Structure 1
Amino acid sequence: MIKKRPASRSTSLLSTEPGGLGQRGLPRGALGKGIPASFRANLKQIDWTDLELFLNVAEAGSIRAGAIRTRRAINTVRNRLARMEDVLGELIARRGRDGLQLTQSGQALLRIAREMHSSRQSAAHQDAESGQRMRVRIAATEGLGTYWLTPRILEFQAATQLRIELHCDMQRVDMAEGDFDIAVQLEQPEVASSLCFRLGTLHLMPFASDKYLREAGVPQSVDDWPDHRLVWQEADQVASQLLPFFVGTVDTGDLISLTTNSSLTHFRAVAAGGGIGFLPTYARAISRLVRPIDIGVHLKREILCVLNPARAQSPEVERAVDWLTSAFSGEKYPWFRDEFVHPRDFDQTATAANVTSLFEGYIDGLDASGDT
């Protein structure tokens, strides 16, 4: 006797076992007989950020596709949707072999989400038509914001007619406070549920000015540090604890001639001949005031983009994210690739990408008298 193949089963969004309903048991409410009265009341506890996430996942057709679409981790999406089910007291979707299957409550929630999304878009279009420029607030580390983004941000602003607010500071911002839409930073956000993805890689190595190298000589290895002056930056998001690794000793006090918390001061001190400093390798692509010192000491940091979840899907923020992705593209700019590319190989790429002309007069116009 041939056994019948069991009908395909579907699972709850937060199910931990195939075919199960998760650990919450059966959902409350008679979904087959209409939406319970408590459903609408509980909706008041769902904020727009979660509702927008549900909308994106539902339209994408699966949790995995929704995670890719919203640039979130799969577990983050699953947990957020599970939390919505807990708040609503209803099962809103099941995972089946054909993708996400919305329940009756899920269909009702989807209609509400689409209506709210449409209303928000209409309001944004009305602002644009009334002459009010849409605003994008970007926080960036001081060096990346000042030296890499500022020279190109005016072109982006002119092309999009957006009102850009660029805040350059080494201090990490708290997206939960809602003061910024986008943050470009070097450390993971403190809130694990934040929307975060990698833009590129920042490579650092020792640099000095020609003036300094003529006077003090060119170090050949880390053993030569005692014969040189170091310029060091101490600030948030700077890997200061790695200084002993760079110089090969834990006794660093006598090696440092200048310490500053500012990326601008750090660069200017190195460019003016104050000593050797650890700068991003792209410094050579945008300036001829400094040159790399090749003694086999390199460091790389991830460049991260953190988004305000409440604004991540707005057209203006999406355009800004596309621009940032292009600005840190390793294909265009080899100094942002994951693998280390030596600055001596930059010249051809920098010329082709029009990098030198973009920054001409902006960096090398600094007062660094005596440099060549």
Structure 2
Amino acid sequence: MRLLLALADAGSFRSAAVVAGVSLNTIRSKIDRLERQFGTALLRRSVEGARLTQEGHELVAIARQMAALGNTASRVQRAGAERPHSTVKITVTEGLGTFWLVPRLVEFRAAHPGVKVEINCDMATPDVLFRDVDIAVQLTKPTSPDLIVKRIGTMHLMPFAADSYLREHGTPTSVADAAEHQLVWQQADQVATDALPLFVDSGLAESMIAVQTNTSSAHYWAVAKGAGIGFLPTYARALSRSTRPLDIGVQLRRDIYVVHHPDAVRFPEVREALDWLTASFDKTKFPWFADEFIHPDEFEQRFSDSVVVNLFEGFISPQ
């Protein structure tokens, strides 16, 4: 309903996506779902944009009333008072959530035993503006000026492959070599899809992709089990030796943002969670999140800090 209202005001899917701070695919899928739920067309789509049907106009009128009531309720909610149940809701991209933040929840809970954490790992861009979540950790920068956005780190990506795959197919040393190999590809919101042309012409893409997934965990396991070459964050090497980085001259980087509504920091559990999230991407402790690209093979050699050493001891499995 909120996205339908944004679409009615903006006049086109693309403009509405920018205003709402979500991806174009997200707003399209949400509106399609809404039309299925109501069993009728809400929009007339054309090259000139999107126009509301009569049913769409009626639903938008309801949505405006809902938004007005929600804003009124937000203003009069218990300012400064603690929530009855101290809960913080965090939405994070699936890979960072599953492989990086969830293992650290024990640390947060130990420091703040009275705070319940609801963590949602999802590639879809969350609706922070309308307070569906308290905090979002995402790879796309929101465009809404009404949100607090802080860049807390950089995620570096490069091609990885399992030893089992490399023994069977050989180790590529250049982009030209990699173009002869099988690829594991992830297609999802917030994931860059512009890297494939670095390997091969678009006409050959379909024949090269052996496995395509929509989640980071499935993508990682496909690479780790030898299905093909895939882009992984460099910190994958700090968690496990089941995959090996490939030096073919291709590296990508994505900014990591923490996003929250300005009112959210009134609650102590949200402030505590924000501090914990910032510390979780501290580049002095976790160098793979620094702006500078550091090759995964150098993690142990270049950094002797006890935190880094302990991380390797705790997470790296035998080769």
TM-score, normalised by the number of residues in structure 1: 0.61
Does the aligned pair in 2 maintain the 1:285–1:347 contact within 8 Å? Answer: no
What does 1:71-82 align with in structure 2 at a 5 Å threshold?
A: none
Q: Which residue of 1 aligns with 2:276?
A: 323
CA displacement 1:129-187 (0-9 Å, x = unmatched): xxx54111000000000000011112211210210000001001011232200000000
Does the aligned pair in 1 maintain the 2:93–2:121 contact within 8 Å? Answer: yes
1:213 aligns to what SS in structure 2? helix
Does the aligned pair in 1 maintain the 2:87–2:269 contact within 8 Å? Answer: yes
Q: Which residue of 2 aligns with 1:256?
A: 209
Unaligned runs of 5+ in 1: 1-45, 52-115, 365-370
Does the aligned pair in 1 maintain the 2:179–2:200 contact within 8 Å? Answer: no
Decide which moves more: 350-359 or 254-263. Answer: 350-359
Identity %: 48
Decide which moves more: 262-271 or 252-261. Answer: 252-261
> In structure 1, how many angstroms separate the alpha carbons of the residues matched to 2:314 and 2:90?
21
**Aligned in 2, Cα 1:231/1:239: closer, same or farther, shift over 3 Å?**
same
CA shift for structure 1 position 253:
1.8
Q: Which residue of 1 aligns with 2:146?
A: 193
> In structure 1, how many angstroms separate the alpha carbons of the residues matched to 2:221 and 2:256?
23
User: In the comparison of the two structures, how many residue pairs are matched?
Assistant: 246
Is it true that 1:145 corresponds to 2:97 in the alignment?
yes
**Aligned in 2, Cα 1:137/1:229: closer, same or farther, shift over 3 Å?**
same
> In structure 1, how many angstroms separate the alpha carbons of the residues matched to 2:265 and 2:136?
12
Q: Which residue of 1 aligns with 2:294?
A: 341
CA shift for structure 1 position 47:
6.7
Q: Which residue of 2 aligns with 1:237?
A: 190
CA displacement 1:294-341 (0-9 Å, x = unmatched): 111000000000002221232111111111111001111110001101
> In structure 1, how many angstroms separate the alpha carbons of the residues matched to 2:305 and 2:229?
26
> In structure 2, how many angstroms separate the alpha carbons of the residues matched to 1:350 and 1:177?
44
**Aligned in 2, Cα 1:358/1:167: closer, same or farther, shift over 3 Å?**
farther
Aligned residue identity for 1:165: E
Larger radius of gyration: 1
Aligned residue identity for 2:312: T
CA shift for structure 1 position 242:
2.7
Q: Which residue of 2 aligns with 1:352?
A: 306
Does the aligned pair in 2 maintain the 1:48–1:310 contact within 8 Å? Answer: no
Q: CA RMSD in A?
A: 2.5
> In structure 1, how many angstroms separate the alpha carbons of the residues matched to 2:207 and 2:305?
40
What does 1:48-59 align with in structure 2 at a 5 Å threshold?
A: none
Is it true that 1:183 corresponds to 2:136 in the alignment?
yes
Does the aligned pair in 1 maintain the 2:146–2:262 contact within 8 Å? Answer: no
What does 1:290-329 align with in structure 2 at a 5 Å threshold?
A: 290-329=243-282
Aligned residue identity for 1:145: G
TM-score, normalised by the number of residues in structure 2: 0.71
- Specify which structure has the bigger relative contact order, considering alpha-carbon pairs within 8 angstroms and separated by 6 or more residues: 2
Does the aligned pair in 2 maintain the 1:208–1:270 contact within 8 Å? Answer: yes
CA shift for structure 1 position 356:
2.6
**Aligned in 2, Cα 1:232/1:211: closer, same or farther, shift over 3 Å?**
same
Aligned residue identity for 1:352: S
> In structure 1, how many angstroms separate the alpha carbons of the residues matched to 2:304 and 2:153?
17
